Amino acid sequence: MKDKLYDGKTAVPFQGNLVSEEDKIIFLSDQKTVSFQYSDILNLDPVGREFRLEIRNPENPTHSFIIVFYSKESYASILLGRKSLRKLPFLDLWQNANFGVKIGALILTAILAFSVYNTGLSYAYFFVPTSYDKKQSQVMSGWVRDYFSECSSPSLKSTMTKIGKKLKDEDDPFDYDIIVIDDDVFNAFAMPGGTIVVFTELLKKTETPEELAGVLAHEMAHIHKRHGVRRQIRSAGNVVLLSLGIGSGFEGVDMLENMDSLYEVLSVTIYDQKFSREYESEADEIALEKLKKSNLTGEGFLNFFKRIQEEYEVPVEGEEEKDTVNVPDFLSSHPATQERIEYVKNIISHPDYPKGKLGISNKEWNRIRGLCSPIKPKKEFKNPLEL
């Protein structure tokens, strides 16, 4: 069976024989003889029992030559000739790999690229000035005072300021605004730039001022290490990446395309919780350093964690275990309390860790933590989703 050459000018092929030599390919025909370099090959595919070779036409780039041939030996010889031109052995390895290996390599590459991308995001905050954090603090402090009942007791405010000043490091660029809110919420949280919010329910759960000092040191560590801004950058970066990847992948599939926002939110939330656990662990570490530099004991910090565990995580005797809720570690925004207890216990057990106190007696603390004198909020918060 004769080989065929289609020159792109006519549908009738030239019939002849394809010869593969060391440095070139020759098509021999009674009507036409043409030679090509291996570098002119655009594509080479086996199709059933025949082989199709597409070659660049130097005279007319818009019309390439197509040669159909049948010899397996010629096919192998052409493959060998093409390989001799390649400078990167990896390309040959990739071309000859099976489909499963290629998919695995692509997935691994994507994972590595995503890890490198997030590593880059974790250092991006270096390019954000601290003035950005401070501006956020001004805005958020005003917002909290506008919409929540702030405790205005001078004694309580003075004590908070005293503890905050004692815990602040010399290299800390932020000024701390500690706001106590009259609400039955067992929580305290930090916002970028220096704003710390403490709820009265948390104050009631502390038995000593050293316990509160541990909590404040933890929240100050979040601000000092700029966890808020770092989390904003990472979250925004991952939303953009997942939006581009998932959105493009769902293009043209109406149902899935409309659901991509849900997938983006869920994916980023789960991934971002991991960052939260990292930041919480770092904040515990920095808090213990702050307490040590301030010559304050870490026993209060330890006792606070123990109380959380006893009151919120250990089932009450006689209570059915099924009524308790156990949050899986991978969805928790904080490390396991027992892990935190063991870590704090290990650090403060060192002989050089201080045992100093704040100089506030338990009797005085019981009086101060019960003070509030709440101010009525200036504005009423309205849910924009409610009609």
Count how many domains the chain has: 3
pLDDT per residue over 33-79, tens digit each? 888 888 888 888 888 889 999 988 877 777 788 999 998 988 888 88
SS3 206: coil
- What is the domain-level CATH number for residue 32? 2.30.29.30
In a domain, 31, yes or no: yes
Q: Bridge-partner residues for 180, per DSSP? A: 198
32 pLDDT band, cuts 50/70/90, is confident
* Domain carrying residue 102: 97-125
81 pLDDT band, cuts 50/70/90, is confident
Same domain for 160 and 299? yes
pLDDT value at residue 253? 46
Nearest of 39, 31, 26 to residue 14 by alpha carbon:
31
- 263 φ/ψ angles, rounded to the nearest 5 degrees: -65, -40
Same domain for 166 and 197? yes
pLDDT per residue over 283-307, tens digit each? 999 999 999 999 999 999 999 999 8
pLDDT per residue over 120-179, tens digit each? 877 788 888 999 999 989 988 999 999 999 999 999 999 999 999 999 998 899 999 999
pLDDT per residue over 209-241, tens digit each? 999 999 999 999 999 999 888 888 877 777 676
Same domain for 268 and 341? yes
Q: Residue 250 in contact with residue 256, Cβ under 8 Å?
A: yes
Same domain for 74 and 103? no
pLDDT per residue over 355-382, tens digit each? 999 999 989 999 999 999 999 988 886 6
Same domain for 118 and 182? no
As a whole number of angstroms, the distance between CA 194 and CA 222 comes to 9
In a domain, 376, yes or no: no
Same domain for 284 and 191? yes
In a domain, 321, yes or no: no
pLDDT value at residue 360? 92
In a domain, 323, yes or no: no
In a domain, 91, yes or no: no
**Residue 278 clears pLDDT 70, i.e. is over it:** yes
In a domain, 378, yes or no: no
SS3 26: strand
As a whole number of angstroms, the distance between CA 101 and CA 114 comes to 20
In a domain, 215, yes or no: yes
Amino acid identity, residue 316?
V
As a whole number of angstroms, the distance between CA 294 and CA 163 comes to 10
Same domain for 119 and 53? no
pLDDT value at residue 118? 74
Of residues 220 and 93, more confidently modeled: 220
Same domain for 79 and 56? yes
Which sign does the torsion angle of CA 183, 188, 191, 195 carry? positive
Same domain for 102 and 49? no
Same domain for 181 and 228? yes
Same domain for 120 and 135? no
Same domain for 275 and 147? yes
N-terminal to C-terminal alpha carbon distance within the chain: 80
**Average pLDDT score, the chain:** 82
pLDDT value at residue 161? 95
As a whole number of angstroms, the distance between CA 138 and CA 168 comes to 19
Nearest of 44, 69, 71 to residue 55 by alpha carbon:
44
- List of E strands, 273-315: none
Percentage, residues of the chain above pLDDT 90: 38
Structure token pair of residue 189? 């949280």
As a whole number of angstroms, the distance between CA 96 and CA 337 comes to 52
383 pLDDT band, cuts 50/70/90, is low
Q: Residue 16 in contact with residue 2, Cβ under 8 Å?
A: yes
Site of tokens 């570098």: 39
Q: Bridge-partner residues for 52, per DSSP? A: 45, 68
As a whole number of angstroms, the distance between CA 301 and CA 348 comes to 10
In a domain, 320, yes or no: no
**Residue 245 clears pLDDT 70, i.e. is over it:** no
pLDDT value at residue 249? 47
31 pLDDT band, cuts 50/70/90, is confident
pLDDT value at residue 243? 65
